[in-house]
Amino acid sequence: MSRRILITGGASGLGAALAAAFSARGDRVLVTDIGAEAPAQLPAGASYLKLDVTSQEDWDAARDHVAAEFGGLDILVNNAGVAAGGRIEYLDLEEWRWITEINLFGVVRGCRTFTPMFKEQGSGHLVNTASMAGLVHPPAMSSYNAVKAAVVAVSETLRFELHPFGIDVSVICPSYFRTNLASSLRGTDPLMDGTAKKLINKSKIGAEEIAAIVVRGVDKRQPLILTDKPGRRAYWAKRLLRPLYDRQMLDFGTKLRRGAEQAARATSGAGRPAPGAGTEKNHTKEAP
């Protein structure tokens, strides 16, 4: 049976892979993203709508569009998000506000906007993209870890809150996978750019494989969708082997310090960026 699905952040990355995977099954997919124009590779049968997840006006327009064109909605995938990282002294409060507005409040706006429709239907499925960083918390990623952990908490809360109304809630928690998210990483910490890109680029799994796992998890109405072996190992290590988890994270922090010290020696006298300093960032354009 064809389902009606709206995906935010669907123009590239995991969102585009999810749009393709759902469309290939015959579902009616509405791809949304911040760009005014539809992506060139829009899946066959899918449609496009501009949606900035920080704008309640855009969310209201999306709800009205869905009601008029689809007659309702079966699945909302809150996938739009951005990446940021860095040691705490390099993260200014504006960057915290920026990532929170998109990664957390974008999800909250989506859930608030479509929950009344789902309640009226007596059915619906909220699917929120968090991250393994929402479950395990490596160093030098405090802002990203915090907002993704909040998405996990919101999703778990809504699962219990909305169950009596026939509404399912799932949260997706992938770890690093090959995507263009690395190119959109924001932050002024010189250590993080290379570290994050290395972790993403060395991954053996891509967005298409993640999307296939997510689709199966949504079909099964899984509340927590873990998408890869490294992520599952980290999750269970934290739950069942806490001393091992702590040791791994402490070791990671030590490696980051050594990397920073090596970088400082290599650039000694060359004007190493001061904590919190950096070029002006664009806080309005969402990354895939």
| Residues near 157 by beta carbon (within 8 Å), at least 6 away in sequence | none
Closest residue by Cα to residue 32 from 95, 109, 133, 123: 109
The per-residue DSSP string of 18-41 comes to HHHHHHHTT-EEEEEESSSSPPTT
* Rama region for 35: left / alpha / beta (φ>0; ψ in -120 to 50; rest): beta
Residue with tokens 């952040």: 9
Phi, psi at residue 33, to the nearest 5°? -165, 175
CA 198/CA 200 separation, integer angstroms:
6
For helices 242-266 and 190-201, the axis angle rounded to 10 degrees is 120
Please confirm, yes or no, whether 144 is among the known catalytic residues. Answer: yes
CA 230/CA 220 separation, integer angstroms:
22
In three-state secondary structure terms, 243 is helix
Quick check: 86 and 187 in contact, CB under 8 A? yes
* Rama region for 224: left / alpha / beta (φ>0; ψ in -120 to 50; rest): beta
Half-sphere exposure of 8 (CA within 13 A, CB side): 32
The one catalytic residue among 144, 176, 235, 245? 144
CA 130/CA 231 separation, integer angstroms:
13
Catalytically active residues are 144
